[in-house]
Structure 1
Amino acid sequence: MSTSAQLRDALTDKLTEGGTLADPEWRAAVRAIPRELFTGAYFRVVEGSIPTACRVVREGEPGWLEGVYSDETLITQLDGRVRPDDVAEGTVTGSFSSSSTLPSLVLRMWQQLGAETGHRVLEIGTGTGYSTALGAHRLGDANLTSVEYDPVVGGAAAAALKAVGLAPRLIIGDGLRGDPDGGPYDRLIATCSVRYLPLPWLHQVKPGGKILVTLSGWSYANALALLEVTGPGEATGRFLPGYTSFMIARPHDRPPRPALALLPGDERPSLIDPTKLGDWTGSWVAQLAAPSAERMGAGAEQILWDVSTGSQARTAPDGKGGWTVVQRGPVRLWDRVEQAVRDWQAAGEPHQERFGITVSAAGQRVWLDGEDGPGWDLPI
C-alpha cells in the first residue's frame, strides 16, 4: 500500500509531466501538503444512478487514500448541510454544495493568477482549505486571506490548516463582500462562480492587480476570466482557454421555483439548431443572452424558463429536418438566444478565449472579438 508521501510525489510528477505544474515552488507546495487532512471522508457518485446518488468513502477504507490523491474533485457536502459523517450507511442524494476541487484545476488557476512572492492575495471560498494551504505554503501566511461563507465548512478548514502548521487569515462571511478591512490586495482568486463581478472586489484589489473568477449563471454554464483592475470599480479582461466550472456562490444562485408547468404559447420555426445549446461555449452564449433563465431538456428539445418573469421557451424537431419553438411571457427568451447564437456562429463558433469583459460605472459587459463587437450585459 502506498503512503501519503508516495502518493503526493506521484501526483506531483503526474501534474508536472502533464504541464500543469510549471513552477517549482508550486511543485514544492503539492509535495508538502497532505490533502487527506483536508478531505477526510468524501462522497463518490454512484455510476448510472438516477437521480444522482452518492456513497461515502471513509477514511481507512480500501481505495480511500488513492481517491484523495486522484486528480478528481471530491464532494464534501450536499444541500448546504449534509457532510459525509452525517450519513450512516447506504447512498444519499442531494445537490453538491462544497468540494475539494481537482488539484490540477486548483494549481492551474493559482499559476494563471500570477501570484508571486510578496503579493497579497484574497481567496474567495476556503472550502476544505486545501487550495488555501497550497497558497499559504507558496506565498506565506501573512500574504493570504481566505473567506468562507459556511461556518461549518470554514471551521473544518481552519482545523486542517492548523494541523499542517499554517495560519493564513481566515474570515467567515459573505465572500461577495470580500474583505472590507484588509485591502488593498494585489490578487483575488475565486473558487466559486458568480453571475457578475461583485463591486467590493473591484475596490479591494489595487489598480494593476488581477482578479481570476469563473462567471456562471442560472443555466450553470461557466467561463473563466482573468481581469486587470484599471481603477476603483473598473476592470477589463479576457476569458481563458480550457473548461473550468465551479459551484455558484450561494447568494448568486437562482431562487427556488415551483414545479415546471409547460404552458401554451406562440409557435414559430427556430432559426438555429437547438442542439447548439449543448456545446460548452454555445450554452454559455445562450446564458449571456437570457441570464435569468434556467435551461433544461437536451438535444433538440430544449426548455428555457425565466425564473424572474415566468417566461418560457421550448423547442422540438418539426419532423421535416428543422425545429419549432414555443414562447410565452414578457421576455421572448428564444429570440434573444437565437440572436446571440447566430452572432457566435457568424464569428466561427469560437471558444471563450475570443471573448472579453469590461467593467465600469456603466455596467458589466461581455463582448466577442472587441468592445465594438457583439456584446451582452451581465445581470447586476
Structure 2
Amino acid sequence: MSYDKTLREDLAARLTAGGHLQSTRWRQALLDVPRHEFLQGGFFRRVDATGPTGWEPVMPDEPAWLPACYTDESLVTQIAGTIVPSDIRGQILRQPTSSSTLPGLVVRMLEDLQVEDGSRVLEIGTGTGYSTALLCHRLGEENVTSIEVDEDVSTRARRALATVGHAPNLVVGDGLDGYSEGGLYDRIVATCGVLDIPPAWLAQTRPGGRILATVCGWMYSSELARLTVDGDGAARGRLLGGQISFMLARPHLPPPLGMLPDVNEGEERRAVIGADALDDWTTRFVAQLAAPRTQRIQIPRDDDTRHVFLDVDAGSWAALHRDGEHWTVRQGGPDRLWNRIEDHLTHWRQAGAPGLEQFEIIATPDKQTVTWPRKHP
C-alpha cells in the first residue's frame, strides 16, 4: 500500500472513531479521493508569534507537506484574496480568504446532508474541490454542480478534479445567487458562512429538499443549520450544534469600521450583563440574534479595556468597561444597542438557556428568524 493510501486509511479510522464518519459510502469516498491532489499548490502554515498572525508557505517538495494533507485540520490555501503559497518567500501578515476545510467537518456535513442515490446537489463554495470530489464519488459527477466566486480558485479546483477523474459542472459566480440554470436541486450545501439563507437557495431547492449552511453574524459565533424547503417558498429546520465555523461569504463580510464613536459621549448606566458574557460561544450567538450586523472590537486602555459594539448601518453603538465588580455601559445612536442584547439574553436565560441544537430556524424570501423553545409555566 502506498504511503498516501496509508494516510487515508489512518484518517478514515480517526474520523470514524470521532463519530464524524458514519456510513460506508462516505467512508469509501474518503478512502478513494486523495486530498493531497487538491493541495498541490501548497498551503499556508500558521506561525505562532506575538502580534499579528503570520503565515508561511508549505510546498509539496517539503517532507511535512504530505502528512499534513491528511491531518484533520483546515489548511489555508489563499491569503488576502489573491496570494497563494507559491507567491511567498518567508511570512505574510494578512487574512486568509480560502482554505481546504478540515476533513472531519467535511464528512460530518456530507453525512448531515442526508443524500440519497441520484440526489442532485448544488455546492456553494468549490474551494479546492476536495468536497466536490467526494460528492462526485458518492452521487456521480452528473448530479453535482459547484459554484465559486473566485475564478482562479475555480480553475485550480477544475484541474485537481480532472486529476482524480471527475468533471462536475463548475460555475464561477456569486454563490448567494445559486445557479438557476441547473433547475431544482435536492440538496444545497454551503461551505461558507451566511448572515441569512439567500432567497435564491429557497427558490432553487425542490419542495422537500434540504439546505445545509452555517448561519453567522458579525460577532463571529456561528452554527450549522439544516432546513427543509416547503412548497410555499420557505424553509424550516434546526441548528445542529458543534460550534461550526466557516469564512463568511464575501458579500456578507462586514463593512469597514470607519471612524469609531467617541465612547465618552452617550448615556451611561450600570450594565445588567457584562461584555465578558459574550466570551461564551452560545451566549454570543444569542446576542447576535438581537444584533446580527453588529461588530465587536476591543480597545485597550491604560486602566482597562473598552468593549465596543457598533452597528455600522444603523449608527448605534455601545461601549462597556469593567468598573470594579460591575460593568458600565455607555450607548449612543438611534437606539440602545446593549439594551437589545441584554433583553434577548435575559429572555433566553429565563427559558433555561437551551443549547443551540434546540433552536429552530425559519427562512423566507423576506426574513430569517431563529428561536429557542420557551419554558411553559
TM-score interval w.r.t. the shorter chain?
over 0.9
Deviates more, 1:107-116 or 1:353-362: 353-362
- Residue 303 of structure 1 corresponds to 308
Does structure 2 conserve the Cα–Cα contact (< 8 Å) formed by 1:274 and 1:301? no
Provide, for residues 251-291 of structure 1, a one-character-per-residue CA deviation record: whole Å limited to 9, x for no partner: 11112232535432211010113211111111111111112
Which of 309, 312, 317 is the equivalent residue of 1:312?
A: 317
> Structure 2: which amino acid aligns with 1:283?
R
> Structure 1: which amino acid aligns with 2:63?
P
State the alpha-carbon separation in 2 of the partners of residues 338 and 208 from structure 1.
37
State the alpha-carbon separation in 2 of the partners of residues 52 and 331 from structure 1.
35
The alignment partner of 1:208 has SS state of: strand
The alignment partner of 1:330 has SS state of: coil
Provide, for residues 208-260 of structure 1, a one-character-per-residue CA deviation record: whole Å limited to 9, x for no partner: 00100101122222111100001242111111121100000011111223253
- Residue 60 of structure 1 corresponds to 61
State the alpha-carbon separation in 1 of the partners of residues 327 and 312 from structure 2.
24
After the TM superposition, which residues 276-287 of structure 1 pair with which residues of structure 2 at under 5 Å, given as runs?
Answer: 276-287=277-288
Cα offset, 1:100, TM superposition? 0.3
- Residue 355 of structure 1 corresponds to 359
The alignment partner of 2:92 has SS state of: strand
Cα offset, 1:86, TM superposition? 1.3
- Residue 269 of structure 1 corresponds to 270
- Residue 26 of structure 1 corresponds to 26
Cα offset, 1:361, TM superposition? 5.5
Cα offset, 1:197, TM superposition? 0.9
- Structure 2: tracts of 5 or more residues without a match: none
Cα offset, 1:338, TM superposition? 0.5
State the alpha-carbon separation in 2 of the partners of residues 86 and 348 from structure 1.
51
Cα offset, 1:59, TM superposition? 0.9
Deviates more, 1:110-119 or 1:250-259: 250-259
Which of 326, 339, 342 is the equivalent residue of 1:338?
A: 342
Relative to structure 1, the CA distance from residue 361 to residue 204 in structure 2 (aligned partners, 3 Å threshold; closer, same or farther) is closer
- Residue 151 of structure 2 corresponds to 151
After the TM superposition, which residues 207-226 of structure 1 pair with which residues of structure 2 at under 5 Å, given as runs?
Answer: 207-226=207-226
Provide, for residues 35-58 of structure 1, a one-character-per-residue CA deviation record: whole Å limited to 9, x for no partner: 111112101111234211111111
> Structure 2: which amino acid aligns with 1:189?
V
Provide, for residues 301-324 of structure 1, a one-character-per-residue CA deviation record: whole Å limited to 9, x for no partner: 5220111133221111121x2110
Cα offset, 1:369, TM superposition? 1.0
- Residue 46 of structure 2 corresponds to 45
> Structure 2: which amino acid aligns with 1:322?
H
Provide, for residues 80-101 of structure 1, a one-character-per-residue CA deviation record: whole Å limited to 9, x for no partner: 11111111x1110111110000
> Kindly, what percent of the aligned residue pairs are identical?
47
Deviates more, 1:269-278 or 1:191-200: 269-278
Cα offset, 1:292, TM superposition? 1.8
Does structure 2 conserve the Cα–Cα contact (< 8 Å) formed by 1:202 and 1:232? no
Does structure 2 conserve the Cα–Cα contact (< 8 Å) formed by 1:275 and 1:300? no
The alignment partner of 1:48 has SS state of: coil
Does structure 1 conserve the Cα–Cα contact (< 8 Å) formed by 2:30 and 2:134? yes
Q: How many residues align?
A: 370
Relative to structure 1, the CA distance from residue 36 to residue 291 in structure 2 (aligned partners, 3 Å threshold; closer, same or farther) is same
Does structure 1 conserve the Cα–Cα contact (< 8 Å) formed by 2:274 and 2:320? no
- Residue 35 of structure 1 corresponds to 35
State the alpha-carbon separation in 1 of the partners of residues 60 and 260 from structure 2.
41
Does structure 1 conserve the Cα–Cα contact (< 8 Å) formed by 2:199 and 2:364? no
The alignment partner of 2:227 has SS state of: strand
> Structure 1: which amino acid aligns with 2:335?
V
> Structure 2: which amino acid aligns with 1:125?
G
RMSD: 1.9
State the alpha-carbon separation in 2 of the partners of residues 347 and 66 from structure 1.
47
State the alpha-carbon separation in 2 of the partners of residues 182 and 288 from structure 1.
33
Cα offset, 1:5, TM superposition? 1.2
Does structure 2 conserve the Cα–Cα contact (< 8 Å) formed by 1:44 and 1:56? yes
Provide, for residues 336-368 of structure 1, a one-character-per-residue CA deviation record: whole Å limited to 9, x for no partner: 110111112112222211211112356321111
The alignment partner of 1:91 has SS state of: coil
> Structure 1: which amino acid aligns with 2:297?
M
TM-score (norm 1): 0.93
Does structure 2 conserve the Cα–Cα contact (< 8 Å) formed by 1:217 and 1:253? no
Cα offset, 1:79, TM superposition? 1.5
The alignment partner of 2:371 has SS state of: strand
The alignment partner of 2:354 has SS state of: coil
Cα offset, 1:19, TM superposition? 1.7
- Residue 123 of structure 1 corresponds to 123
The alignment partner of 2:221 has SS state of: coil
Relative to structure 1, the CA distance from residue 67 to residue 256 in structure 2 (aligned partners, 3 Å threshold; closer, same or farther) is same
State the alpha-carbon separation in 2 of the partners of residues 38 and 241 from structure 1.
28
Relative to structure 1, the CA distance from residue 82 to residue 260 in structure 2 (aligned partners, 3 Å threshold; closer, same or farther) is farther
TM-score (norm 2): 0.94
State the alpha-carbon separation in 1 of the partners of residues 229 and 192 from structure 2.
20
Relative to structure 1, the CA distance from residue 84 to residue 362 in structure 2 (aligned partners, 3 Å threshold; closer, same or farther) is closer
> Structure 2: which amino acid aligns with 1:155?
T
